[in-house]
Each structure stands twice: as structure tokens, then as C-alpha cells.
Chains A and B, each alone.
Chain A
Amino acid sequence: MLRKEVIEGCLREDAESQKTLYRELLPYLNGLCGRYLNDTSHRQDILQEGFIRIFQNLSQFDAEKGKFHSWASRIVINLCLKHNKRSLSWFVRELKESDSPDFNPEVVDALSNEELIRFLKQMPAKYYEVFNLHIIDGYSHEEIAKILKIKENLSRKRLSRAREWIKKKPKSLNALLGDYRFSIG
């Protein structure tokens, strides 16, 4: 949780406070980029743009409306989604064409978060966007509709398709699920 003094220092353009905020936010926002960006090689560019926007628009943050992390994450998520939109088609096609093997069941216990993200990213990007926003980050379909500029029903439909996609990946799913393998379906 960011201290109030840090944010106030940033509003005064105090360099020390700005760096403190940067250091505290960086791992979290980097994790967001890892989850949302299709092409993570651009994460540094997105983070740079994201931090600049956060600092420039800091005065708009209202602590009464929500947590600072949520406010900052919304900025970065929007940037990631915008970036994905520009490079969506080729990435999806390339992943389909590449020979990415299923996860080895024997490494389930050692499945890292990165591997989990990588598994989820194999689903079509539009489904993954909604899955990410709704299941992981807890946005409502109404909020997702605003973020993605789509209709709420389409958001629900995409989530449903994402769930279907997961069910159709038995090998990967079993590897991932471990003890939960019989609870799905």
C-alpha cells in the first residue's frame, strides 16, 4: 500500500517521491504487462508510457474512489489492450502456427506463474482479454464493455468461449489442474 506522503510528494514533483512510487509500482505493473501483453517484448515501452501517464495524471487520482493500485493498473491495462489491438492478428496466427508443446504433467507442482500465463495466452486473444479482466482482475462485464468498447453480452460470450477453450485443452488442463482435475465440467 502506497503511503499518502509518497503520492503527495509526487504531486509536488519531488524526485525522491517519484522514484519511490516507481519502485513500489514497477513489479506489480510489470506483472500486469506480463499478463495482458500478447507480445511481452514491448513491455518496457508500455511501462515507460504507463508511468509517464501515471505521473502526469496523478492529480486526477481520487483516494475516495478506489485504491491507487487499481487506478494505476487501469492505465497500464488500457495501454496493453491498445497495444494488443494493433498487433492482435499476427500474434494469434503465429502462436497457432508455432509448435508449442503441451505442459508436461510431471512439472505441475513446479508450474510457475509465468508458465500459467503462457498457457492461458494460448487461447484466442479476445477471449483471453475478457478472462483476464473478469476472472483475475475482477472487472464486471459492464466495466469490461467500457474498457474494450464492446457490448456486455459480447463480453459474457467471450468469457464463455474462454471457459470452453480451457475445457478443450485436457492435457494442458490436467497438468495445470492437478487435484482439481475432476472438479471441472
Chain B
Amino acid sequence: MNRFEEEIKNRLFGYSSSKGVDEEALWSSVSAGIQSSGKGRRTPFIWLLSGMLLPFVCLFGLIPNDSTSVHYTPRTVQNTLNLVENEEDNVLLASQFIPVNNLSKNEGLREHLPLNGKEEIQAQGNTTSDEHSDKPNAKTKSTKVTSENNSVEDSQKNDPFKSRVNASVSVNPFQETKRSTFLEDLARNPVVSSQIRNERGDLALLDTRFAFIEGPVSQLAVLPSSQNLLAVSDPLSFSLYGGSVYESSNFKGDATFSDSLNQSIFADDGYRFGLAMTIKNGKNWNLNAGAEISNWQDRFEKKFISDTTVIDNQSGDFVDARKIRSVRHFNKHSLISIPVEFELYKDISRLRLSLAAGASYSFFINQRGRGLNEELSLIDYDNQNKRYGNFFSFRAAPGIGLKLNDKLLASVVYGLSIQSRENLSFSNINSQSIAHMPALRLQFKY
């Protein structure tokens, strides 16, 4: 450090000044700030968030299924075989359909039925044709469980007609089924039955049964009709909604045009309204798609400071002064958005709690605003020189509704939409924003 720097340090280290500060006004602000500390200010938000999340935690995690839901029992090979043995009144028994004519007495019908990837069940077919044909209601005494590790492929080689049956039955992950429903579906499903009968006649039905319990338990074959066990047939449902939009933007880019980069700015409020249709639904869920028209606004400021000289009115002397010029950018834009949302809901008496999540793509239909150009002069612009391009959003919307009657549901939803918008204009300032979109919704044929 040279002598010049030492001199500066001596003069400025510990330098105190009371200039430019109103001591009492500052103290009143500080003392008020101490009393309402930062933690206190955050508390309402935390409580609000917790309050919003709690119903959904209860809804989807803690509340047990109600009595109207279908109960399923674990589907194991042994269960299935027991069903074959016990449900005599409902289904045809395995022994009725063993294709004895295709089997040699030595080999019999060998069905390899893996259990948990290790165990396999071998249905020994070393019974005579008389035993089965003469006793149509007999138990399948010859069926037993072994621990052989034969592969499924081997079993299919041994029994070629099975592969044809499998090809006509879709294979889906399936772990549980209701006993009676499973059997009834099996017996009544006209599609599978007819497909099978075309090739093998009645005998094929037995093979269909075994097709179910063949392969790893997690990949058991399922009848097409079983896929609809959870589905609820419902009339066309649609909803109308509308509300306000408050966008909190975080601008990033060239600081030449903005003072407020990298900080959240709440802009003026906008609005939205839209129509949504339920395109698919289930017991506790809807898949909705629709269209909405919205008007959003954002703004930020730019300050220009320059030194100048003004005349002091009292002394008449020229004194140094600082000139501050503020330029407010703003952008008003109208959008058409196409949202697709997956909605989970829970009915509690006349109330419906819901949580929707999804995405949307938004097209600008108009935008206008004011900003700085490269020469730092202020210009107005319109849609031809738009600031943003079309954008993609992620959105979520918790809500609570009241069933007004059998067909009409009125809800309050609090939509949140997160998006990143690329700037197309001269100012080169991109925006990442969260739009808060509280809305009222009327849902018909809910």
C-alpha cells in the first residue's frame, strides 16, 4: 500500500456521516421492522400453503377407500387354482376342458406356471380321458404345486396352441383381481370367448384360463374387459371458469434496459376465462382439456441517473444535483391457451376436493407495450414487434367445490402456472414467471 492509499484509508476508514438520512423517520421504520420480523411475515404464507396441501394429503394418502370401491384380493397361482376348484357354479372347471385327445398318457398336459419368478406349478395331465369326461364336476385332484424351474418358453413349445390364445389376449401388468369379477369376466367375455372358439372351440377356454396364470405374476394376462373395471361410464362433462391473473415475473437478460433483473416483480392484474371438457374419466379422476382466453400484464422499470446543476432558490448559487429519470416498461398481452390437466378429486358429502396438474401451450393473439430501444429512447410497440414468443407452461390447480345439485358443481380453484418466455424484441430480456390464477368454476354433469 502506497502513501496515497494510506491517506485514503486514514481519511475514510471509520468515516461517519449523518448526511442524507432522516434519523427519526429511519428509526420508526426500523423499529416497526423489528417488531414484524421476517419470520412473522412468512408465517401466513406457510400456513396458507400448509392449509392448501393438507386436504390433499388426507385425500390421497390417509383416507381409506370407501365402501363403494372395489376390493381385490392378491392374485396368486394358488388362488386361481382354488377358484377353479371352488367356483363350480360360476365357471366351467378345468377338468372339463383338458384336451385329452392331444396328450399322450405319459406327458399329459404340462402347464408351467411361474410364481414369483421361481416357483412353477405343474398341472400334471397324467389322468385318463375317462376321469375327466365322465366327471364333469370333479375337482382337479391332479393339480399340484411343485418348485420346478422350467421356463415359460419351454411350456409354450410343449403346447403350441397356447401361444395362439395368448396372441389374442392383451397382456398388461396386473397384480390383483376380485374373485367373482375375474371369473365372471372370464366366463362372459364375448370377445375373448369368440376369438378362442374360432380356433379351438370350448377347449380353448381352459387354455385362456391358464394363459392368465402363466408367466410372472406381475405380467399376467388380463382380459380386455378387466381393463374397464376401474372405469366409470359418465356423461359428457364440461366446465366454465373465469378469474384473475397475477403474474410474478423474474426478468433476465441485458441490464441495459432494466434495473430489475433477477428479482420477482408482481405486475398489474389480468384476467382469464375458459372452457374445459372432460375427455376421459375414472372413479376419482378426470382428464380435462380445453381452451382459455387470458390477458396478462408485466412491467419493469429502468432508471437513468445523470449529474446536473441547478440553481438553489435560497442562495441563488448553482449547486450540483442528480437527475433521475424513470422509464416504465410494460407489456399487455392477450393469449389463447390450450390446457390439458389431470385432475384427482375426492367427494366428501356435498364437497369436492380436487387437485389438477398438467400443462398448456399459449399463443399470443395480441400484445402491446412500451419499452426502450437500442438508442435508449422510449418507443411504443404492438404485436408486430412483440416481446414474447408463444410459450409452454406447467400448471397446477388445487380447488374446493360444492355440489349445487346432481348436475352442477361450483368450485373455487387456485391455479398456478409456471413458464419461461423467450424474448423476441430489441430489449432482449427474457422472463420466467409464476402466474397466480384464482378462478371460479362451474362444472356441468360432474
In the bound complex, how far is the Cα of B127 from the Cα of A180, in angstroms?
Answer: 117
> Which of A28, A52, A88 sits near B255, CB closer than 8 Å?
A88
Does any Cβ of B come within 8 Å of A60's Cβ?
A: no
In the bound complex, how far is the Cα of B26 from the Cα of A18, in angstroms?
Answer: 13
* Top-6 shortest CB links A-B: A27-B16, A89-B255, A52-B33, A31-B15, A51-B30, A98-B307
B15 and A94 within 8 A (CB): no
A120 and B8 within 8 A (CB): yes
> Which of B20, B263, B307 sits near A44, CB closer than 8 Å?
B20
Query: B23 CB to closest chain A CB, in angstroms?
Result: 6
> Which of A56, A87, A138 sits near B34, CB closer than 8 Å?
A56
A87 and B259 within 8 A (CB): yes
Query: A42 CB to closest chain B CB, in angstroms?
Result: 10
Given A18-B31, A19-B27, A43 and B16 contact (CB-CB distance below 8 Å):
no
Given contacts A30-B21, A55-B30, A98-B307, 15 further A-B contacts (CB under 8 A): A27-B17, A30-B19, A31-B16, A31-B17, A43-B20, A51-B30, A56-B34, A86-B259, A86-B261, A90-B259, A113-B11, A135-B5, A137-B13, A138-B9, A184-B4
Chain B residue with minimal CB distance to A91? Answer: B305
In the bound complex, how far is the Cα of B37 from the Cα of A52, in angstroms?
Answer: 8
Contacting residues of chain A (33-79) with chain B, CB-CB under 8 angstroms:
34-35, 39-41, 43-44, 47-49, 51-52, 55-56
Does any Cβ of A come within 8 Å of B44's Cβ?
A: no
Chain A residue with minimal CB distance to B323? Answer: A98
B residues with a Cβ closer than 8 A to A are 1-5, 7-9, 11-23, 25-27, 29-31, 33-34, 37-38, 255-256, 259-263, 302-308, 322, 324
Chain B residue with minimal CB distance to A32? Answer: B15
In the bound complex, how far is the Cα of B19 from the Cα of A51, in angstroms?
Answer: 17
B9 contacts across to A, CB distance below 8 A? 135-136, 138
A94 and B306 within 8 A (CB): yes
A117 contacts across to B, CB distance below 8 A? 12
In the bound complex, how far is the Cα of B277 from the Cα of A148, in angstroms?
Answer: 53
B26 contacts across to A, CB distance below 8 A? 26, 44, 47-48, 51
Query: A122 CB to closest chain B CB, in angstroms?
Result: 11
Chain A residue with minimal CB distance to B322? Answer: A41
Given A34-B19, A113-B12, A22 and B261 contact (CB-CB distance below 8 Å):
no
B34 and A26 within 8 A (CB): no
In the bound complex, how far is the Cα of B15 from the Cα of A184, in angstroms?
Answer: 24
In the bound complex, how far is the Cα of B12 from the Cα of A49, in angstroms?
Answer: 23
B13 and A90 within 8 A (CB): no
In the bound complex, how far is the Cα of B31 from the Cα of A43, in angstroms?
Answer: 17
In the bound complex, how far is the Cα of B27 from the Cα of A15, in angstroms?
Answer: 11
A135 contacts across to B, CB distance below 8 A? 1, 5, 8-9
Query: A63 CB to closest chain B CB, in angstroms?
Result: 19
